[in-house]
Amino acid sequence: MSGAEVRDLFVSSMDGLKIYARDQGPLASAALPVVCLPGLARSSADFHSLAGALAGDEARPRRVLSIDYRGRGRSEWDRDWQRYDVRVELEDVLQVLTAAGIEEAVFVGTSRGGLIAMGLGALRPGLLRGAVLNDIGPVIERQGLVRIRSYVGKVPTPRDFRHGAEILRQISGAQFPAWTDAEWDLLARGTWTDRESGLVLAYDPKLMNALATTDPEAPIPELWPLFEGLKHVPVLVLRGEHSDILSAETLGRMQGAHSRLEALTVAGQGHAPLLEGGLVGRIMRFVLETELSGGLHPTA
């Protein structure tokens, strides 16, 4: 079996929805698996480069599971948009991990995926051997949430992917001033899916309902107790230089609170950095170092 072979895994959630995971790499590998968790309106497509590199590593190929939450990617949409909730998605992730037979892994979480990783650390600490938090922490900045609320589920339908890239550049160009046309195209191909009728969003537009019902002026709860759930494992935090979700101040506080936390600021990017190019190699090194260190497990 090729280390980079891809398998489609569909798992039934507790309420019967089909949840999709892209399962890549050797099933019988002795190497520590990696589980990838995307952002709010993103999917497993965001991890194709990272998963391919990890699974196809000639020296140490490993299994990589990239999960689509309900209502995203190839997972089934929920009839009740109120169940597009981090707590429900965390339970879905646990169902997928159980079905896949993964008992411990390094978790790579982008934005919302990082929140779910923190939740797993609090609820099931034995699952985590390490965590990569991509532009997320226990304090979420209001201006970033307001920006995300302004476009999720509301973007116009593009004529083609090139047009889609132009739309996304207009929305988020200030976040990613250094991006090339190729990077905007990559983002567009993870935002829309090509159907016979044309391009359609790769997520349920009703995701916006959950955002629209929150009070933009209400205090945003800080999640330091959840972050505590990662203290028993090594953590790598990626922060986009222009991020309006994870501030430099919060990242500094995270470093002070966690003795085995590494931080990397990604130049020219905002929320959230694409896991491409040099970031793939940096995450691969972190995973290998975490595996070789053996990690520390909680006593309870």
Model confidence pLDDT, tens digit, residues 156-170: 999 999 999 999 999
| CB 199, CB 164: distance < 8 Å | yes
pLDDT at residue 197, rounded to an integer? 87
Q: Give CATH superfamily name and number for 6-142+221-293.
A: Alpha/Beta hydrolase fold, catalytic domain (3.40.50.1820)
Whether the full predicted model's pTM is greater than 0.85, yes or no, is yes
Nearest in space to 121 (alpha carbons), one of 165, 153, 90, 145:
90
* Residues with pLDDT less than 50, the chain: 1-3, 295-300
The DSSP code sequence of 14-65 is TTS-EEEEEEES-TT--SPPEEEE--TT--GGGGHHHHHHHHT-SSS---EE
What are the extents of the domains in the chain?
Answer: 6-142+221-293
Determine the pLDDT at residue 211: 81
Nearest to 108 by CA among 225, 273, 259, 267: 273
Q: Are 62 and 25 in contact (CB under 8 A)?
A: yes
